[in-house]
């Protein structure tokens, strides 16, 4: 099933892969934190929701998980398949919309890793309900997001002399809105950027039946700054939000 989110990401797929392959945010900040939040995955049935070109899926297999990777972009799923095969890792890849996981059975996963997907999906309530349906009781959903408090339609650093960042300004926070934006200047095609207030992410997951287990707004540490000086703004505000939710047994 195609919608505005899957069409937009399919159009920008090759630019995303080139970006993801070289992104310090991806490799040095986001991925290690998500894998830590996921914990021990040995022998676990893991769904990589919005798997993109598949870096998380391949790493999860290396950590001992049995992985299914789904994405709404045909092009990204093709690239993820080729990369898994080249790396010699077995992953079940499917092109599916996160809000219609029709070919995935109820209660068929122990863990869902949803890295940087939910702020992109057109139908977040549908996607979070589907995540709950395919998780086994006792299973966990680990998600990362662009932090919704700092991703409103008006949200940017206000700079002083010499473009030194003075403070971060946010406006139009309550708007639920999507607009075309380039992730980086290297992108030939814009992707559909979307904003929802934090309340929508929390209430959607609670209404689906999830219980919140962990909530992290990662601040860049000294070690992060050694790894990349570009992380400096994250010593002042969180660019990302990580949450771990549980589907309870009862
Ligand atoms: C920012 S990328 C993240 C990719 C990967 N999880 C990672 O962290 O590297 C967002 C991904 O979500 C996928 N996506 C967006 N909307 C989707 C939807 N409705 N259903 C499935 N995948 C979707 C995109 O195709 C893209 O691969």
Candidates 41, 85, 86; CA nearest to 66 is: 41
Ligand 1 centre to CA of 53 (Å) is: 9
CB neighbours of 45 closer than 8 A, spacing ≥ 6? 65, 66, 68, 108, 109, 110, 111, 136
37 lies in a domain?
yes
* 194 has pLDDT over 90: yes
Question: Does a structural domain hold residue 16?
Answer: yes
What is the reported pLDDT for 116?
98
How many Cβ atoms are within 10 Å of 81's Cβ, its own excluded?
A: 17
pLDDT in tens, 67-116: 999 999 999 999 999 999 999 999 999 999 999 999 999 999 999 999 99
Residue 91: give its domain's CATH number: 3.40.50.150
196 pLDDT more than 80 = yes
Mean pLDDT over 7-23 rounds to: 97
CB distance 38 to ligand 1 below 6 Å? no
Domain region containing 78: 4-147+197-247
- 115 lies in some domain: yes
Average of per-residue pLDDT values in the chain: 97
Check pocket membership of 98 for ligand 1, CB cut-off 6 A.
yes
Q: In total, how many domains does the chain have? A: 1
Ligand 1 atom showing the smallest separation from residue 34 Cα: 8
pLDDT at residue 117, as a whole number? 98
pTM above 0.85, yes or no: yes
What percent of the chain lies above the pLDDT cut of 70?
Answer: 100
Is 58 contained in some domain? yes
């Amino acid at each position: 099933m195609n919608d505005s989110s899957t069409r937009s990401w399919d159009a920008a797929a090759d630019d995303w892969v080139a970006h993801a392959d070289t992104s310090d945010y991806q490799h040095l900040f986001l991925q290690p934190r998500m894998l830590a939040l996921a914990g021990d995955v040995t022998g676990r049935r893991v769904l990589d929701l919005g798997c993109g070109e598949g870096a998380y899926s391949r790493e999860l297999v290396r950590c001992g998980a049995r992985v299914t990777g789904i994405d709404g972009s045909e092009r990204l799923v093709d690239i993820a398949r080729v990369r898994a095969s080249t790396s010699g890792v077995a992953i079940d890849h499917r092109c599916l919309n996160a809000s219609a996981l029709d070919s995935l059975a109820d209660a068929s996963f122990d863990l869902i890793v949803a890295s940087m997907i939910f702020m992109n999906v057109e139908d977040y309530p549908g996607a979070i309900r589907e995540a709950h349906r395919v998780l086994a009781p006792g299973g966990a959903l680990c998600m990362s997001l662009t932090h919704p408090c700092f991703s409103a339609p008006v949200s940017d650093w206000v700079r002083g002399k010499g473009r030194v960042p003075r403070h971060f300004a946010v406006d139009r926070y309550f708007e639920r809105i999507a607009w075309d934006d380039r992730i980086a200047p290297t992108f030939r095609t814009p992707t559909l950027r979307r904003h929802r207030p934090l309340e929508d992410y929390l209430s959607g997951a609670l209404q689906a039946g999830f219980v919140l287990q962990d909530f992290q707004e990662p601040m860049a540490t000294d070690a992060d700054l050694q790894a990349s000086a570009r992380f400096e703004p994250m010593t002042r505000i969180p660019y990302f939000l990580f949450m771990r939710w549980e589907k309870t047994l009862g």
